[in-house]
């Protein structure tokens, strides 16, 4: 799964309608340009591709009163919303997601009902346990990695990664079950987006290539 698809759909959805520069600004505000492939070119490309695929609808806007060129604003379609939710659920429940995909999913986890989010995270734990068990069929941590030569260090890494992943996931479940954060259906959630024109302290400084055609 590509993180950029989930990130862009989620960012557009939070605005209702958003032009490419707004989406890019939000993702930079979240630091996504540091931990994912959400670079300016990738963002604009994803917007145009998903519009062609029917996941977004493109709206041409009027030129600004200051004389600026018109922009293309995007809105998530029903098909795009279904795709977004499917990507989000898969990213949370799967044990083998890349860190950028999991990070994107955590950023949007409050779009789900609290109980569903907990259930998906518990699925993730069971999947990680199963993966760990498959590794330890060939390698027992108690024997130490040296029992397989330096190749044992690979399996040692996998086992430690699984253990750390389970520990982190259990902590998140405990916080959510303890009432942390505002989930779908519970009221106004925290929305980490910048107001139009608000300065982004984490902007990369790369000029806006313009999402107007």
Total domains, the chain? 2
DSSP symbols for 102-130: HHHHHHHGGGS-HHHHHHHHHHHHHHHHH
Q: Are residues 169 and 195 in the same domain?
A: no
Q: How many helices (H) and strands (E) does the chain have?
A: 8, 4
196 shares a domain with 149: no
Q: How far apart are CA 46 and CA 113, in angstroms?
A: 27
In terms of domains, do 177 and 205 share one?
A: no
pLDDT in tens, 9-21: 999 998 889 989 8
Kindly give the pairing relationship between strand 72-76 and strand 147-150: unpaired
Determine the Cα–Cα distance for residues 76 and 7; give it in Å rounded to an integer.
12
In contact, 187 and 179? CB cutoff 8 Å: no
Q: What is the CATH number of the domain that holds 1?
A: 1.10.10.10
In a domain, 61, yes or no: yes
DSSP 40-79: HHHHHHHHHHHHHTTSEEEEEPPPPTTSPPP-EEEEE-HH
Residue 151 lies in a domain: yes
pTM value is: 0.82
What is the three-class DSSP state of 28? Answer: helix
pLDDT in tens, 33-79: 888 878 888 999 999 999 999 999 999 875 655 556 677 899 999 99
């Amino acid at each position: 799964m590509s993180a950029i698809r989930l990130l862009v759909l989620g960012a557009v959805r939070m605005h209702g309608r958003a032009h490419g520069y707004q989406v890019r600004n939000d993702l930079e505000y979240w630091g996504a340009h540091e931990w994912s492939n959400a670079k300016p070119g990738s963002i604009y490309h994803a917007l145009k591709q998903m519009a062609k695929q029917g996941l977004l609808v493109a709206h041409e806007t009027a030129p600004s009163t200051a004389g600026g060129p018109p922009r293309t604003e995007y809105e998530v379609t029903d098909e795009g919303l279904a795709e977004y939710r499917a990507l989000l659920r898969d990213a949370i429940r799967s044990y083998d997601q890349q860190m950028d995909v999991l990070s994107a999913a955590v950023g949007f986890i409050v779009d789900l009902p609290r109980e569903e989010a907990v259930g998906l995270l518990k699925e993730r734990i069971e999947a990680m346990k199963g993966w760990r068990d498959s590794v330890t069929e060939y390698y027992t941590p108690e024997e130490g990695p040296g029992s397989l030569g330096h190749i044992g260090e690979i399996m040692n890494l996998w086992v430690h990664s699984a253990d750390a992943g389970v520990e982190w996931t259990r902590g998140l479940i405990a916080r959510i079950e303890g009432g942390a954060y505002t989930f779908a259906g519970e009221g106004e959630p925290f929305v980490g987006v910048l107001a139009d024109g608000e300065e982004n302290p984490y902007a990369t400084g790369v000029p806006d290539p313009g999402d107007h055609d």
